[in-house]
A = this chain, B = another copy of it.
Amino acid sequence: MSCAAQSATGSLTTGERMFRVVEELYPICRSITGNGVRETLRRLQREIPLQMEEVSTGTPVFDWIVPREWNIRDAYIKDASGRRIVDFRKSNLHVVNYSVPIHRRMTLAELRPHMHSLPDRPDWIPYRTSYYQENWGFCLSHCELESLVDAEYEVCIDSTLEPGHLTYGELFLKGESDAEILISCHICHPSLCNDNLSGISVAAGLAQHLASQPRRYGYRFLFIPGTIGAITWLARNEAAIGRIHHGLVLAGVGDRSPLAYKKSRRGNAEIDRAMSHVLRQAGREFRLTEFSPYGYDERQYCSPAFDLAVGRLSRAPHGEFPEYHTSADNLEFVSPDSLADTLAVCAKAFEVLENNRSYVSLNPKCEPQLGRRGLYRAIGGSSDAGQQELAMLWMLNLSDGQYSMLDIAERSGLPFATLDRAAQLLVDHGLLRASPAIPDARSKKKGLAL
């Protein structure tokens, strides 16, 4: 495996630290409710001070109801000799998630409809769920399935499905303003690394990073079971949703594919444009995809009554890579470097959001004399303006109150950070004045084409 977790904590890189979180959470059998979620959140509390929230079974949340809590201790299929030929203790993927308890002998013919495999990937175990329809089942490799003989088997799922709670974690880093940025990841998948653990570890890493940064925005981190968790959170926090100016779902961000950003339903929200800008400026391969109502919890955040400016960052395309929802989405499938790279890109995009604002030129009639202020080369005639001079010229030219700095970054093709430094210099020399406010979250200002 990777050497990411071999060294002592103190000397770990950011990527290695995030990978260690993935490694430690990997064995836990998570679901949309139950002790696996609690154990996961407790482990995360060693990284970040998140609150654990519990919502009772039966609580109505919009069109849904918080389901009964599912817990599982053991499960197996034993052959005639009493050997566990399918064993939950070897992989928690072997049990269809939310299986109701069962313990009886049955023929292969009776058992067969309850078994799931992947004929195309005969060595991998699929991941299957049955949250909202009472059912039970086993997942196993197709090779194992094919090797079963027509005999009687002992089938046992030692699970409980009882009134209890839905559990999720929440962490809020207060900002200077009431405006918030939402970061959401799902925590409901059992031993799957890219699909849920990568998002969890990067979200935790981002929370650690942002905790030490000045923050114009507050940052709200949600570690929630997919779909029902997002719905539950939205239902409990409906009154406060107007504070969310931007948001990001993190899912599948640990594999080795290039980063892929899926735009919000609005399509040109500031988060969409910030992410596009950062990815483009990085000069590496990346994908931008339009919003669709299929995927992760952006489905809920972007439902028509909320229409939040929430996009999604991923790597390998959702549902299209063979390892998706199989035992091959394991520790080998994610890398410390990918986790660290994802975190760095998110941090850069949040820097854009933090610093994006409009400026007004205090000297809008012709250019001000930059040279007199030491802001322009003294000897004229050489071919190129330096990038810093160009950035100042762009800021001065477009700071008419109509353009945000992100607009200027898009129009000029210059990196946002370069423009930001130029703006600071010009403010320091009394040539620009920043307009103060964070714009209203619901304004859907038409940005330049992405």
A contact residues vs B (CB 8 Å cutoff): 62-64, 96-97, 116, 126-133, 135, 137, 227, 230-231, 234-235, 238, 265, 290, 292-294, 299-300, 302-307, 319-320, 324-325, 361, 363-369, 371-372, 378-385, 390, 393-394, 396-400, 411-412
Contact = CB atoms under 8 A, between A and B. Distances in A.
Contact of A300 (B132, B361, B366, B412): B366
Nearest to A383: B319
A135 to B, nearest CB: 7
A129 B380 contact: yes
A288 to B, nearest CB: 16
Contact of A305 (B127, B303, B364): B364
A89 to B, nearest CB: 21
A404 to B, nearest CB: 15
Contact of A293 (B304, B365, B393): B393
A230 B366 contact: yes
**Assembly stoichiometry (copies):** 3
A116 B381 CA distance: 11
Contacts of A132: 369, 371-372, 378
Contacts of A128: 379-382
Contacts of A367: 63, 227, 231, 293, 299-300, 303
Nearest to A412: B292
Contacts of A380: 128-131
Contact of A234 (B227, B305, B325, B366): B366
Given A63-B366, A381-B127, A383-B320, A304 B96 contact: no
A424 B421 CA distance: 55
